[in-house]
Structure 1
Amino acid sequence: MRRLRWLVPALIMIGWLAIGGFGGPFAGKLSDVSENDNSAFLPASAEATEVQRLQERFTQNEAVPAIVVAEREGGVTPADRAYLEERAGEAASIEGVQQPLSPVIPSRDGQALQLVVPMTGEPNEAVEQLRGLLDRDRPEGLDVYAAGPAGQIADLSEAFGGIDGMLLLVAGSVVALILIIVYRSPLLPFLVLLSGIFALGLASLTVYLLADSGALALNGQSQGILFILVFGAATDYALLLVSRFREELRDTEDRYAAIRKALRGTIEPIAASAGTVILGVLCLLFSDLNSNRGLGPVAAIGIGASLLASVTFLPAVLAIFGRAAFWPFRPMHGSPHPEAKGVWGRIAGFVDRRPRAVWVVTALVLLAGAAFVPQLKADGTSQTDVFLTDVDSVAGQEVLSRHFPGGVGSPAIVIADAQRTDAVLEATRVDGVSSAEAAGTRDGLVLIEAVLDAPADSERAVGIVQDLRDSVHALEGADAKVGGRTAVQLDTQETSKRDRMVIIPIVLVVVFAVLALLLRSLLAPLLLVATVVLSFAATMGVSALVFNHVLGFPGADPAVPLFGFVFLVALGIDYNIFLMTRVREEARTRGTREGTRHGLTVTGGVITSAGVVLAATFAALAVLPILFLAQIAFIVAFGVLLDTLIVRSLLVPALTVDIGRKVWWPSALSR
């Protein structure tokens, strides 16, 4: 039987090779089932959604306008106008373009021309063809752009288009480099990366099937976070298992016995860590935004796949390779444990000698960072600010703003009782509305288009729409509702703010409950949750300084603090779980003080490596030129490093030593 011990690990490896081979290609297909239109994510109860539904009575096909704008410094010429009229005639034949197109409209200052091209369905291909058409025989000196909502959707899709290959390449390269530095082995990093790749294949297959069936909403942001989360989590769990395996190989001659002991010693913290993250991200199901609700299951599936690969494939492959996996620095049976003499032994000794001074100073440092939280501007940004690189839709919007009423082509839509049409038109005369007119009646309802004097995606336009709603809602018997592109943005921001107030407390309760069950204590979980919340506040304060004064970002989406909180609390608590489960294990035989010292000594290196890996993988999100993802990349990367290097290394051990065995209250270990 001993000779056949390799059979089960070999069968597990073959099974994962099949999963990876079948599921891997679906990582590249996720873009086919993703949706990047904000209007698709609002709840059915949102006013903009109600207007969108009522608007279908007035038109069979809901068109998304692409706004072509041409500008010439010094004034457009008759030849410029003839060129654009000719292109308008050709654009009508593009598949997805809905006729009729608007006439070519000159600006009052004579320096620009405008053409509205309605599009149905997904406008990506139609916008690409339109832009190609506009580039042909363009008069010299005339700048032409395809902007508007359809242009923005196409630019967003292009930004997310290479998300799978680019993110995998960057994240994989960063993780491989860190693992080579940590283990000084060419083989072990390859095995760990294989675990992450197979986990991603399983997660991608599952998410694709669910998104394709309509069971969950997937967008480009969720897709990018899935890739990073799977790689980061799988590597974190692998580092914990591999570190314990290396420990056991020094004390156990047989590699199969060593991997069994390593798995028994790490399965509880790894499963607890994964369970905490899964429950934390599933709290997003309480969101009213479909995109947030979709991210919850997507992230949970990714973490689940990472856990499964880490406790099946990785132990199997380590059992087969044994000490050879660590070549050329193999941990031989009977060799000394290097951890106790390293830097973490000295840090543990320092914390043990002066625990109160350590936790007071680190807490004050974190509070200093948290003091800058009020500077965080997270009330929303214009849609054109979403892009961090130059794109056609942004350049075109800037031209439109210079020469035309800002909201032309994307008016606010007011739908009301047709019998109150005159009163509603009168009520639309609020500051910021340049014109309003009835565009049709149907089934006792009137549709009014109100053109704003600010760009439809700007924060000023959001304020105008709010004033417009207040005005028309005040009319008795009109049952007026305001929708349109700007209203979608307003409702999305308001829903995001509501989600923050609801979901953050739920996450804290869930995390506390998991920790209480894991540590069989009430005081220790309370301290751990408090330290992670303090770390999150410090992270957001530092992020505010960096975003405002270093990177010059215009602001942040209201969902940024929520996403940052969910990921930082769920992921940041991981390292406390890794540490405190080992401390509790050691405290049973050594006592709390010595157990804390030994636990920090033996886990310090691996947890720090795991934190660096996770921070580096999330930082890879910054390669995508999207404001939201760049901000999440910085917040999570910085926050994870803060948790790893300050909270878990100094604050938590110092508090544990200072409080003593009572930290385990009310369990028997506290007595």
Structure 2
Amino acid sequence: MGIRAGIYAVLILLWLGVAGLGGPTFGKLSEVQTNDQTSFLPASAEATRALEWQNKFQTSEAIPAVVVLTGTGELEASAVTALAEKLAGFTYLEGDVVGPFISKDGQAAELLVPISGETEAKEGVEELRSLIAAEKPEGTTAYVTGPAGFSADLAEAFGGIDGVLLGVALAAVLVILLLVYRSLLLPITVLMTSMVALCAAILSVYFMASEGWIRLDGQAQGILSILVIGAATDYSLLFVARHKEALVAGADKWQAVSTAFKSSLEPIVASGGTVTVGLLCLLFSDLNSNKALGPIGASGIIFSIIAALTFLPAVLGLLGRAAYWPFAPKPQSAPQDPGIPAGLWGRIAGFVARHPRPIWMITVVVLAAGVLGVTGLKAHGVPQSELVVGGSEARDGQVALGEHFPGGTGSPATVIVDQADAQATLDKALDVTGVDSAYLQAENGGPALAERGIEPYEVQGRNLISVTLADAADSDEAKQTIVALRDAVHQVNSQALVGGTTATQLDTNATAQADLYKIIPTSLGAIFVILMLLLRSVLAPLLLMITTVLSYGTAMGVSALVFNNVFNYVGADPSVPLFGFVFLVALGVDYNIFLMTRVREESLKIGTYEGMRRGLQVTGGVITSAGVVLAATFAALGVVPIMFLGQLGFIVAFGVLLDTFIVRSLLVPALVEEIGPKVWWPSKLARKIGASK
């Protein structure tokens, strides 16, 4: 006993040491983050290649901010000019303030303020906004928008990831665990397991990002926290359920940990392995942001498994029955008859066993009806101005800018072309519908003017053409203009490159949609192989995969209806259905693994039909609790005002609840009862376990 206690104590101390290192590192993740959309594109994308050339034409890494002033009447040019002169003292100014430009109606003015690339956009924009608010002409409304403004608003929205998101998720899980266990120590122990796993994952992610192995963004960081808390809690719930069973069966605190470890090792490793493989399939993505989430999420799941199988057993081994205080489990004098249903889940199992066919048929029809909503899913990209949910000064400024100036002002498209074809390409670009203006760029960044002797800037035999679009850079109309612009300039020179903000968004959306057709089949195939190895069957894994995919389709269909008619979202990022698939299919199979490994275990003893009932009876409570916990953690993503995270959180939370209460509780058991022992085909168990109903 002394040796065991010593081993448990060492394990706990090791994990606390990891937590001591990982905790402070959590706040440093922002140092290795990048939220620049261009950096996530593959090197082969036209927008990426255009950016590489564009950087050669730039003498600084300044981020342009667009200051927009509007008034109820005509603005006084002198007052706007005075503001521009005051901005010359702006701390983060790099270069000169360009403008002011007065709109044709005289009611708006525009200034271009380059913010130093040496600082965070959020910090520079905050000071610029404060300065303009204090110095703007009386009676005017001022906005800071453009690339710097949107970056600052996005950084502000992601600011909740470090503290608020984690706090909300932990609070939700704690409340659920208190209700489930009616204990004080056990919920804290489970949460500590989740936190030490998260700290270990943070250390690994920080190392990978700092070494340049992955590109970490705010979205991936938020998903990591939620994923680890939810997964580690789920695995802990399964271990605790087995531990409690052993205590009820009369085992002492040492034997209970040993028994729980042996019985939960396979389902926890298998379910965690399934999620890990599903996430690693994202490595096949051409988007660096999607690709990075693979190892980021996989590291979180791996440490969740390790913590649930080392830290948690060590704590329970030292606490014993005291962990369940004040409702410590008491040993039963005689084991319960496994064939006699008991409690709520016993009654549900009995009901499913008596009416399997009507249950699975009705369930399939209801789920299929939900799938129809997928036709309304608008996952073709979201304008940059809509990424932040709620107030956004950059968005308001973009609207004001579009009312008085060409919508693409401040975020021009760029064309890189051979010097010999530059003038012909410029002429062709000006003929494209949706192009407001265009010019060959001089060395100072302004237009080349032959009559003044200002020649186009040439770099390695190429020129840059700056193209202002008539529509807002993040609008669908602007994307259509970029498509037409590319067609036009490629007619002059097939090697010409069109880049810029709009082109980047266009290429990102196209790449994300292409990823769906690669990653979904790969993920399905990999998970199917794992299930076959685990269940030693072909039919059972096929059954589980079909029901899980059906559940995913229903979740996406219902989510589309909610997004369109309740939240009134303008659309969704193309990565939303991909991430929804990876999480829902992997996590949905998770619960089926918990169920079916227990059903197989019981079927070896009492036959398939009774084994199904017994398996549902004993796992129903713990799997339902795990599902509610996971749904609550993903729902916490809604506190971060980022549309992508809110949509993903809703899809996964709803899908997990659907899978927990409908698919795993009714559909899968009903199908197993309908098929009987043949569900284990081609295993010998299909013939050996032939107990009749």
TM over 0.5: yes
User: Alpha carbons of 1:649 and 1:335: their partners in 2 closer, same or farther (altered >3 Å)?
Assistant: farther
CA contact (8 A) 2:161 2:222 kept: yes
- For 2:630, give the aligned amino acid: L
- Distance, in Å, in 1 between the alignment partners of 2:4 and 2:434 is 76
How many angstroms apart in 2 are the aligned matches of 1:44 and 1:119? 27
2:662 matched to which residue of 1?
A: 646
1:99 is matched with which residue?
95
Is residue 115 of structure 2 the alignment partner of residue 119 of structure 1?
yes
Q: Find the counterpart in structure 1 of residue 187 from structure 2.
A: 189
Q: 2:321 aligns with which of 313, 320, 323?
A: 323
Q: Which residue of 1 aligns with 2:452?
A: none
Residue of structure 1 equivalent to 2:593: 577
Distance 2:186 2:143 in 1: 51
Match of 2:27, SS?
helix
**CA distance in structure 2 between the partners assigned to 1:78 and 1:494 by the alignment:** 44
Contact map agreement 1:200 1:230 (CA 8 A) in 2: yes
Aligned equivalent of 2:529, options 490, 500, 513: 513
Structure 2 counterpart of 1:435: 437
Does structure 1 residue 656 correspond to structure 2 residue 654? no
**Runs (5+) with no aligned partner, structure 1:** none
2: CA distance, partners of 1:85 / 1:60: 22
The 5 Å alignment of 1:127-206 reads 127-206=125-204
Give, in whole Å, the separation in 1 of the partners of 2:114 and 2:476.
24
* Structure 2 match to 1:586: 602
Rounded to whole Å, the distance in 1 between the matches of 2:77 and 2:656 is 60
| 1:3 CA drift (Å) | 4.1
- 1:17 aligns with 16
Q: Which segment is superposed worse, 636-645 or 11-20? A: 11-20
Alignment of 1:539-554 (within 5 A): 539-554=555-570
Aligned-partner Cα distance in 2 for 1:162–1:543: 24
Question: For residues 154 and 98 of structure 1, what CA distance do their matches in structure 2 show?
Answer: 17
- Given residue 662 of structure 1, which amino acid in structure 2 is its aligned partner? K
Q: Which moved more, 1:466-475 or 1:279-288?
A: 466-475
Match of 1:219 in 2: 217
CA distance in 2, matches of 1:80, 1:619: 49
Task: Show the 5 A alignment for 1:120-519.
Answer: 120-121=116-117, 122-334=120-332, 340-428=341-429, 429-439=431-441, 440-475=457-492, 477=493, 479-519=495-535
Distance 2:77 2:55 in 1: 38
Report the CA distance between 1:206 and its aligned residue: 1.0
Rounded Cα–Cα distance in structure 2 between residues aligned with 1:252 and 1:79: 88
The total of aligned residue pairs comes to: 666
Check whether the contact 1:247–1:337 (CA below 8 A) recurs between aligned residues. Answer: no
Instruction: Please list the CA deviations of residues 264-319 of structure 1 after superposition, one character each: whole Å capped at 9, or x if unmatched.
Output: 11110000011010110011100111111111110001111111110000001011
Note the C-alpha offset of 1:23.
1.4
Counterpart residue identity of residue 525, structure 1: P
| Distance apart, 1:60 and its partner CA | 3.0
| 3-state DSSP of counterpart to 1:57 | helix
Q: Is the 8 A contact 2:416 2:463 kept in 1?
A: yes
Q: 1:337 to 1:491 in 2, by over 3 A?
A: farther
Paired residue secondary structure (1:557):
coil
C-alpha offsets along residues 551-578 of structure 1, whole Å, 9 cap, x if unaligned?
A: 1111001111001001100111100000
User: 2:75 is matched with which residue?
Assistant: 76
Distance 1:353 1:81 in 2: 80
**Secondary structure of residue in 1 paired with 2:163:** helix
| Separation (CA, whole Å) in 2 of partners of 1:206 and 1:492 | 27
TM-score in terms of structure 1 length:
0.97
Alpha-carbon distance in 1 for matches of 2:332, 2:341: 15
Cα deviations by residue, 1:350-397 (Å, 9 ceiling, x for unpaired): 110111111111111100000111110111111001111112211111
Q: Percent identity?
A: 54
Shift of 1:478: 5.3
Tell me the secondary structure at the aligned position of residue 526 of structure 1. helix
Q: Which residue of structure 2 lines up, in the alignment, with residue 597 of structure 1?
A: 613
Counterpart amino acid of residue 438 in structure 1: L
Cα distance, 1:162 vs. partner?
2.9
Deviation of 1:607 (Å): 0.1
Match of 2:646 among 615, 621, 630: 630
Give the Cα–Cα distance (whole angstroms) in 1 for the partners of residues 78 and 53 of structure 2. Answer: 42
The one-letter code matched in structure 1 to 2:102 is P
How many angstroms does 1:546 deviate by? 0.1
> What is the Cα deviation at residue 79 of structure 1?
5.4
Could you report, residue by residue, the CA deviation over 1:53-80 in whole angstroms, capped at 9, with x for unpaired residues? 1112222324321101111122222454
- Return the letter of the residue paired with 2:622: V
Q: Distance in 2 between the 1:478 and 1:24 partners?
A: 52
| Structure 1 residue 135, shift from structure 2 partner | 1.8
Offset, 1:340: 4.2
Q: Any idea what SS the aligned residue of 1:231 has? A: helix
Note the residue ranges of structure 2 that are not aligned, 5 or more in a row: 442-456, 688-693
SS in 2 for 1:109: coil
Q: Using the alignment, how far apart are the partners of 1:446 and 1:650 within structure 2?
A: 65
Once residues 18 and 423 of structure 2 are traced to their aligned partners in structure 1, the CA distance between those partners, rounded to angstroms, is 64
* CA distance in 2 between partners of 1:271 and 1:130 (Å): 52
8 Å CA contact 2:341, 2:349 repeated in 1: no
What do the CA deviations read for 1:118-162 (whole angstroms, capped 9, x no partner)?
234242322222112112233332111111011111111111123
DSSP-derived class of the 2:613 partner:
helix
Q: Could you tell me how far apart the structure 2 residues matched to 1:508 and 1:253 are?
A: 40
CA deviation string 1:309-331 (max 9, x = no partner)? 10000001011111111111111
- Deviation of 1:4 (Å): 3.6
In structure 2, C-alpha distance between the alignment counterparts of 1:340 and 1:330, rounded to whole Å = 23
Shift of 1:220: 0.3
Partner Cα distance (2:111, 2:682) in 1: 72
Does 2:625 align with 1:612? no
Distance in 1 (CA, whole Å) between partners of 2:347 and 2:428 is 72
Aligned CA distance change for structure 1 residues 432 and 272 (closer, same or farther; 3 Å)? same
Closer/same/farther in 2, CA of residues 335 and 364 from structure 1, 3 Å limit? farther
Q: Deviations over 1:371-426 (max 9, x none)?
A: 11111011111100111111221111111111110011111101111111222112
Matched with 2:106 is: 110
CA contact (8 A) 2:538 2:681 kept: yes
